[in-house]
A and B are shown apart, each in its own frame.
Chain A
Amino acid sequence: MGRLRGTFKLLFFVGIPLIPLFVFWFFPMLVSLWLSFTNWDYISPSFDYVGIDNYTNTLTSETFYEALKNTIFFSVWTIVPTIIIGLFLALLLKEGLKGLTFFRSILFSPWITPMVAMSIVWSWIFQADVGLINQILGWFHLPQPQWLTDSDTAMWAIIIVTVWKNAGWAMLFYADSLSKIPNDLYEVSDIEGASWLQKIKTIVIPLVSPITLFLVIISAIDAIQAYDQIQVMTQGGPAGSTRTLLYLYYQMAFEQFNMGQATALATIIVLITGVLALSMFYASKKWVHY
């Protein structure tokens, strides 16, 4: 009797919070998975089952591999600078810059600004003729790229905005992690005459490694899901040079109305994300010290 009531209680307290999870996450995912085996066009009420056609089409299409390449490029070049700049800023703050809280909030403010708003401002900054960046480059007589309208530079522009937004956020995590490193570890290395770089290598990097892992995984997921900045600044162009997997999904679903193909791509994205996160977690055993 008591046991039954216990089970009921458990179901009640665990079950109720799970309901939204089911309704808004699990259920749509199942529907999406189901749609990926159909040729639904988003509008007509009828559709046919097409088996794994959508998957084979996707996995054999050039656009998919182009987008995959773009996604990997974008991810690597946002994650690595975000981590390095974040750690560097945190180290600067730790050295006790004057006006600490002021700096911290300035650096953190991009993170709380909506990506859409930021992207709009940045697309002005990146304008080829009147944009701020090219103005500055002009003063120094440096080349002034076409940024958003040149397929060689458009992805870099998107990357710069994304790093700009995320670095302050990474800094906050690192600042907290750095403040937890006991001071006497630095003193031990002072007595031995370790240089600044040696201290970074032997103390800081290993001791913030759990935060680094966390940031890498979150930033990777964030990079795979990047949408706002691409939509506002380049819409995947020019010539598909900023079309990531997620943006490709959006175009398939809401520009070409090819829901079956799009949901198949979505499933592949989820799989890639999962495999990536898992493998990072696994690989981390070698370099993360808890």
Chain B
Amino acid sequence: MTKIKLQHVSKQYTKESDKVIHDFNLDIDDKEFIVFVGPSGCGKSTTLRMIAGLESITGGELWMDDQLVNHVPSKDRDIAMVFQNYALFPHLTVFDNIAFGLKIRKVKKAIIKEKVEQTAGILGLTPYLKRKPKDLSGGQKQRVALGRAVVRDANIFLMDEPLSNLDAKLRVQMREEIIRLHKTLGTTTIYVTHDQTEAMTMATRIVVLKDGHIQQIGTPTEIYKNPNNMFVASFIGAPAMNFIHAKVVNNQLMTSEGKEIAPLARPIDHQGKVILGIRPESVVLATENDGLAMDVEFVEMMGADLHVHGKLEQSKIIIRLNPDVMVKENDRIYLRFPHEKIHLFDPNNEESLYQSEGMTAWVD
């Protein structure tokens, strides 16, 4: 099991092109399950591939335990990687696909057989060992790809969107399987995804990336409760956090049109326009006297909750309610934002000005 350390790592594919990874710093502890998450093209795969040794590191240092590995070839980094498109050998059986790495490394036949069978057992692949990949379902293929990584007893698992080719149900199932595997094996894992649900459910820590810059590193709870900026706030959580134009006047938080939202107990170093962030499930219903008006545009029944879409003054918002509440199109409802759930962002640089969650700085 291995610690990984990235120090000021950067990547530039060609001399002429721009950097795609900037000053990447991350300390990964033994047995962690780190998830890189971010929109398409933000550099998740690039970073993972630099760690794997499939892509050169053009700046900074990569350490594994106490060894600088910038120039250590892939095979000597003791990693196993799972690819998005499975990367199975079409001409080999499931058995031979799983055994591939061991065979290349010239492990003894008897040991290969034992290990492959054991791995197949863990992943429920025993009945398929003689089949070729083309005769397997997507989920089974992904399990074979996983098996090829597991069987190697590597110290680090790297996974690049391993579940993105699966349907929603299978994805949930495989997600559990990977979590279970990580619990049993304890292998340090880096997992790339653009799906915030996978990030939230699987990670011990999440690294949120955008345009090659780290936006925030933290546990799922930290990232969810205390996002550093509007990007993180909107990327993590579904439906996304609402952003409402507001202003701070004399420590009082008001809507753009001047309606009172909540008083600020703790003075902040910012006056005038702010962006108020509030998660859909944090909003509570109120009455005309003590609430802000929202015009309902449409309602989505999700089963366990009700998503109400509409407008509060000029800002679009979504709120998540108990499905028993009777709200329909064109209704006007009244909302209250509990002060301990409010986030404030600077409209100029989108950085967080204030995080209330877990703090006691707010007073009614």
Contacts and interface: CB of A to CB of B under 8 A. Distances in A.
B91 interface: yes
A198 interface: yes
B69 to A, nearest CB: 14
Contacts of B53: 190-191
Nearest to A191: B74
Contact of A198 (B54, B79, B104): B104
Given A191-B80, A191-B81, A289 B73 contact: no
Interface in A198-255: 198, 202-203, 206-207, 209
A286 to B, nearest CB: 12
A151 interface: no
A188 B100 CA distance: 9
Q: How big is the A interface, by class?
A: 10 to 19
> Chain A at the B interface: mostly helix, strand, loop or mixed?
helix
Interface in B84-98: 85, 87, 89-91
B79 A191 contact: yes
B52 interface: yes
A206 B105 CA distance: 20
B101 interface: yes
B54 A187 contact: yes
B75 A191 contact: yes
B229 to A, nearest CB: 34
Interface in A171-207: 182, 184-185, 187-194, 198, 202-203, 206-207
A206 B90 CA distance: 9
A187 B83 contact: yes
Contacts of B100: 188-189, 192, 202
Given A187-B54, A289-B91, A194 B104 contact: yes
A194 B102 CA distance: 11
Nearest to A189: B104
B73 A193 contact: yes
Contacts of A188: 81, 83, 87, 100-101, 148
Interface of B: 52-54, 73-76, 79-81, 83, 85, 87, 89-91, 100-101, 104-105, 148
A189 B81 CA distance: 11
Nearest to B160: A184
Interface of A: 182, 184-185, 187-194, 198, 202-203, 206-207, 209, 289
Given A187-B54, A188-B81, A188-B100, A193 B105 contact: yes
Given A182-B85, A187-B83, A192 B91 contact: no
Contact of A190 (B74, B89, B91): B74
A188 B80 CA distance: 9
Contacts of A190: 53-54, 73-75
A181 to B, nearest CB: 10
Rank and list the top 9 A-B pairs by shortest CB-CB distance, nearest first: A193-B75, A289-B91, A184-B87, A206-B91, A192-B101, A192-B104, A184-B83, A191-B74, A194-B104
A187 B53 CA distance: 10
Given A190-B75, A191-B54, A193-B104, 13 more contacts: A187-B54, A187-B81, A187-B83, A188-B81, A188-B87, A189-B100, A191-B101, A192-B75, A193-B73, A193-B75, A202-B89, A202-B100, A203-B89
18 contacts: A185-B89, A188-B83, A188-B87, A188-B100, A188-B101, A191-B52, A191-B54, A191-B75, A191-B101, A192-B75, A192-B104, A193-B73, A202-B89, A202-B100, A202-B104, A203-B89, A207-B90, A207-B91
